[in-house]
């Protein structure tokens, strides 16, 4: 059966009148059932929205229905509304309006429809009930309503908006300072949304940070849509704020733990890869050596080859030691943190490599004024400083003596340290992804092992920090650690 | 039986491995000369130089390329090598010899025309022998 036929059959049996909203040109076709519901004949009334607004709908419902209708027509925003419509008997009947989103899921309509379901209720009883439900819903869902009137240049808040924004019941919202109701980093977003809604009639539905009267920042869902007058001009914006701070905070926390888990997972994967790769290179050498020993007749040469086993065994040991160190980092993470002065840690490190510093004529300038100490695992802080300093000296520039600048500070709510050198620099285009990899070296130094930065990154990350690098060839390198 | 391989080339940073392969080649007398580079960059520099003064005897007939190397790894070398390969006017057979068993690496290597085969370390003496003997035309 054709989708359309299915649709037509359903519509025919539907016990409700409806309008078909045609476009090009805009025009509504009212169904036979709709005429029956209000009791008029087709010739007695004009089937236009303007006629409907002026003569048929109850004046209390005109404004909201007009907005809903225009938003539905222009922006495809579905709506639900109770309205009262004049019947031929001269009385108002109550209807529930619904739109395409109320159709059963398997029925798709090609044009927008508005359905009018008759409600058999005493009107007075209904209004009292409506008001009760509205207050209950607002409180239980922490959803406040508001309205911005462009002509009067005023905003209106309901009791719940005042409550979630922590303002007193008699507080009068200010349109002029409305930016202040939003968190600093969300003000541009809010301005854009309201501007687009006011100028182009674009409705919005977004998550945004607001600020309460007590300067508490919290998350709300902000929904707004334009309000039209009878000339179809936008005269205001109506909407709601829902307090979603609990959910959003949980979401952000969840997101953060996903990131941590993902990064731990990737480190584990990386580690498995390292283990497999590094051990393989030794075992394959060993197996090649054994084959060679087997294949050679001369006993003297055989003995020479057996000596090579020593070499392989020692490389294997070194690799295992490196792997042990990495494992140790991740088991040590529960190790006790202590309050350490950066100055003390640096002193300890430079004391240990005094020879290297003086021979290379290295100058170290440290500035710990903005952040003197940190709660960290002492051994890690020392190892991090040691690695970055010895790297700076090892890869110094041929034309100048090494100068290392170390600076600690607070960036936002993060404690940071930066180590900058004037060395050879690293070609970021080539090595960006490899800088912190194991056994990756970027220079021709004989003593480059490619373990230092890998360990540093592991240490920093095992305590939930990050390390980043900026570098320019021939200028120098800056490592930044956020603890 | 035709001619023996004149010049072979190993690009690998594992000096122990290189040393062993060297010994095997000597013991089995598989080729006349062997060149060794510790990373892709050194090797690439060499090929760029001989491109300018084409001396066919300086071009290896066979290359064993490692993937994981410092400074310039095997992939980066390959990218650059493919660009200049045809100008060398000599057939060069290239094998990747790596300890990586990562299927991504294997697939990637097999998708490159210039790569004859992907050998996983440890290579055996038989592998090496048959490669050198089959190479002869």
Residues B66-101: pLDDT tens digits? 988 877 888 889 988 888 888 877 788 899 998 877
Task: Quote the tokens at residue B4.
Answer: 């023996």
What's the gap in Å between the CA of A350 and the closest CA on chain B? Answer: 29
Given this model, what pLDDT does residue B124 score? 85
Work out the number of other CB atoms within 10 angstroms of the CB of residue A5: 9
Given this model, what pLDDT does residue B84 score? 84
d(CA B45, CA A37): 89
d(CA A372, CA A143): 46
What's the gap in Å between the CA of B136 and the closest CA on chain A? Answer: 23
Work out the number of other CB atoms within 10 angstroms of the CB of residue A122: 10
Residues of A in contact with B24 (CB under 8 A): 288, 291-292, 295
Nearest CA in chain B to A443: B71
The answer to whether B16 contacts A311, with C-beta atoms less than 8 Å apart, is yes
Work out the number of other CB atoms within 10 angstroms of the CB of residue B53: 7
Looking at residue B4, the DSSP 8-state letter turns out to be P
The answer to whether B20 contacts A442, with C-beta atoms less than 8 Å apart, is no
CB pairs under 8 A between A and B: 67
What's the gap in Å between the CA of A234 and the closest CA on chain B? Answer: 58
Task: Quote the tokens at residue A152.
Answer: 């009067």
Residues of A in contact with B20 (CB under 8 A): 285, 288-289, 292, 308
Averaged over successive runs of 10 residues, the pLDDT of chain A (483 residues) comes to 62 79 89 90 90 92 92 90 90 88 73 86 59 82 91 90 92 87 93 90 93 94 90 89 93 89 80 76 85 83 84 84 78 77 89 84 90 88 88 86 92 90 84 68 53 82 86 90 90
The alpha carbon dihedral of A87, A90, A93, A97 has a sign of positive
Q: What is the pTM of this model?
A: 0.50
Residues in chain B: 137
Given this model, what pLDDT does residue B1 score? 44
Residues of B in contact with A431 (CB under 8 A): none
A209 beta partners: A219
3-state secondary structure of A50: helix
Q: Closest Cα to residue B76, out of B54, B108, B120?
A: B108
Given this model, what pLDDT does residue A35 score? 92
Q: Which candidate in B17, B77, B130 is best for mutational testing of the A interface (most A CBs within 10 A)? A: B17
Residues of A in contact with B123 (CB under 8 A): 284, 288
Report cis status (omega within 30 of 0) of the bond before B91.
no
Given this model, what pLDDT does residue A1 score? 41
Query: Cβ distance A308 to A287 under 8 Å?
Result: no
Which helix or strand (DSSP H or E) is residue A94 part of?
Answer: strand A92-99
Nearest CA in chain B to A298: B27
pLDDT at residue B58 is higher than 60: yes
Instruction: Give the full edge-to-edge strand order of the sheet including A476-482.
Output: A363-367, A403-411, A414-421, A476-482, A466-472
Nearest CA in chain B to A313: B16
Q: What is the pLDDT of residues B7-53, one digit of tens each?
A: 899 999 888 889 888 888 888 888 888 899 988 888 988 888 888 87
d(CA A389, CA A153): 62
DSSP per-residue letters across A143-191: EEEEEEETTTTEEEE-HHHHHHTT--TT----STTGGGGB-GGGHHHHH
């Amino acid at each position: 059966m054709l989708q359309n036929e299915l649709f037509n059959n359903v519509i025919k049996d539907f016990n409700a009148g409806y309008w078909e909203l045609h476009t090009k040109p805009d025009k509504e076709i009212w169904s036979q059932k709709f005429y029956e519901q209000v009791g008029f004949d087709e010739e007695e009334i004009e089937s236009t929205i303007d006629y409907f607004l002026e003569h048929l709908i109850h004046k209390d419902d005109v404004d909201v229905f007009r907005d809903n209708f225009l938003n539905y027509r222009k922006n495809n925003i579905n709506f639900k509304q109770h309205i009262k419509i004049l019947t031929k008997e001269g009385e108002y009947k109550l209807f529930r309006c619904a739109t395409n989103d109320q159709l059963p899921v398997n029925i798709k309509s090609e044009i927008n429809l508005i359905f009018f379901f008759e409600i058999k209720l005493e009107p007075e009883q209904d209004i009292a009930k409506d008001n009760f439900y509205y207050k209950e819903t607002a409180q239980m869902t922490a959803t406040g309503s508001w309205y911005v009137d462009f002509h009067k240049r005023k905003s209106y808040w309901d009791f719940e908006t005042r409550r979630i924004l922590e303002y007193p019941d008699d507080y009068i919202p200010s349109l002029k300072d409305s930016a202040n109701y939003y968190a600093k980093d969300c003000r541009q977003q809010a301005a854009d949304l309201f501007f687009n809604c006011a100028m182009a009639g674009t409705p919005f539905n977004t998550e945004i940070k607001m600020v309460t009267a007590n300067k508490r920042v919290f998350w709300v869902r902000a929904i707004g849509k334009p309000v039209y007058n009878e000339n179809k001009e936008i005269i205001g914006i109506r909407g709601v704020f829902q307090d979603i701070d609990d959910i959003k905070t949980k979401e952000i926390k969840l997101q953060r733990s996903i990131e941590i888990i993902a990064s731990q997972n990737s480190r584990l994967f990386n580690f498995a890869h390292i283990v497999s790769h590094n051990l393989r290179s030794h075992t394959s050498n060993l197996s090649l050596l054994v084959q060679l020993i087997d294949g050679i007749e001369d006993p003297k040469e055989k003995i020479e080859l057996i000596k090579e086993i020593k070499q392989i065994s020692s490389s294997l040991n070194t690799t295992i030691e490196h792997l042990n160190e990495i494992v140790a980092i991740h088991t040590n993470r529960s190790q006790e943190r202590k309050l350490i002065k950066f100055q003390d840690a640096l002193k300890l490190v430079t004391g240990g490599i005094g020879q290297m510093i003086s021979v290379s004529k290295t100058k170290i300038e440290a500035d710990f004024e903005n952040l003197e100490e940190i709660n960290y695992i002492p051994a890690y802080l020392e190892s991090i400083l040691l690695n970055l300093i010895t790297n700076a000296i090892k890869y110094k520039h041929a034309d100048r003596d090494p100068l290392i600048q170390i600076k600690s500070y607070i960036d936002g709510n993060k404690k940071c340290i930066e180590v900058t050198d004037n060395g050879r620099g690293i070609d970021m285009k080539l090595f960006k992804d490899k800088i912190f990899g194991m056994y990756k070296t970027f220079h021709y130094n004989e003593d480059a092992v490619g373990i230092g930065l890998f360990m540093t990154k592991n240490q920093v990350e095992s305590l939930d920090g990050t390390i980043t690098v900026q570098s320019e060839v021939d200028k120098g390198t800056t490592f930044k650690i956020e603890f | 039986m035709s001619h023996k391989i004149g010049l072979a080339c190993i690009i690998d940073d594992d000096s122990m491995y290189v040393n062993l392969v060297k010994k095997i080649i000597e013991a089995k007398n598989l080729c006349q000369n062997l060149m060794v580079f510790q990373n892709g960059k050194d090797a690439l520099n060499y090929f760029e130089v001989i491109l300018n003064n084409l001396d066919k005897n300086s071009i290896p007939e066979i290359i064993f390329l490692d993937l994981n190397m410092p400074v310039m790894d095997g992939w980066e070398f390959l990218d650059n090598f493919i660009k200049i390969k045809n100008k060398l006017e000599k057939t060069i057979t290239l094998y990747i010899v790596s300890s990586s068993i990562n299927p991504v690496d294997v697939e990637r290597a097999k998708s490159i025309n210039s790569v004859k085969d992907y050998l996983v370390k440890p290579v055996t003496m038989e592998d090496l022998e048959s490669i050198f003997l089959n190479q002869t035309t």
